[in-house]
């Protein structure tokens, strides 16, 4: 994905977002509901009712970038809480974008030490 680099602040908007909203509507949600400055360099993630659509809003310093992804199968993992925001790392954002459950990644157990 072309976009923000590592270390960027990521805010996931809990609950359901109307996916008909464009840049202005999503920026207003970031400011009014998430209490964040939309032009502050953070990434804002929004998911629709069916769970198969994801929009990311990002200010790159010159203007807004809007990324939109629709899964052919499955749903994007999302927190259960209805309001507010969840803060993600850039690694968790990458997992979310790929449809991987960022809440419980299967890293496996560390190898046993011999000796």
- Write the DSSP assignment of 8-77 as a string of letters: --EEEE-S---TT--HHHHHHHHHHTS---TTSS-EEEEE-SSSSEEEEEEE-SSSEEEEEEE-SSS---
Q: Please give the tally of structural domains in the chain.
A: 1
Does some domain include residue 2? Answer: no
Task: Tell me which residue range forms the domain holding 78.
Answer: 10-98
Per-residue pLDDT tens over the stretch 75-103: 998 887 666 788 998 888 988 888 888 87
- Nearest-angstrom CA–CA distance, 100 and 69: 14
Residue of higher predicted confidence among 84 and 32:
32
Task: Work out the average pLDDT over 51-58.
Answer: 95
pLDDT surpasses 80 at 1: no
Q: Which residues of 4-17 are buried (b: 16+ CB within 10 A; e: fewer)?
A: beeeebbbbbbbeb
What average pLDDT does the chain have? 86
pLDDT surpasses 60 at 42: yes
Looking at residue 100, its pLDDT comes to 84
Does some domain include residue 27? Answer: yes
Does some domain include residue 61? Answer: yes
Task: Work out the average pLDDT over 54-69.
Answer: 95
Task: Work out the average pLDDT over 50-73.
Answer: 94
pLDDT surpasses 70 at 111: no
Does some domain include residue 94? Answer: yes
Looking at residue 56, its pLDDT comes to 96
pLDDT surpasses 60 at 109: no
């Amino acid at each position: 994905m072309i976009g923000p680099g590592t270390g960027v602040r990521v805010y996931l908007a809990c609950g359901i977002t109307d996916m008909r909203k464009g840049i202005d509507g999503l920026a207003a949600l970031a400011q009014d509901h998430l209490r964040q400055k939309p032009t502050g360099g953070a990434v804002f993630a929004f998911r629709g009712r069916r769970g198969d659509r994801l929009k990311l809003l990002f200010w790159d310093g010159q203007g807004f970038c809007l990324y939109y992804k629709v899964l052919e199968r499955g749903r994007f993992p999302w927190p259960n809480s209805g309001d507010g925001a969840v803060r993600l790392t850039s690694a968790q954002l990458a997992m979310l974008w790929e449809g991987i459950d960022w809440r419980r990644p299967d890293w496996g157990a560390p190898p046993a030490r011999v000796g």
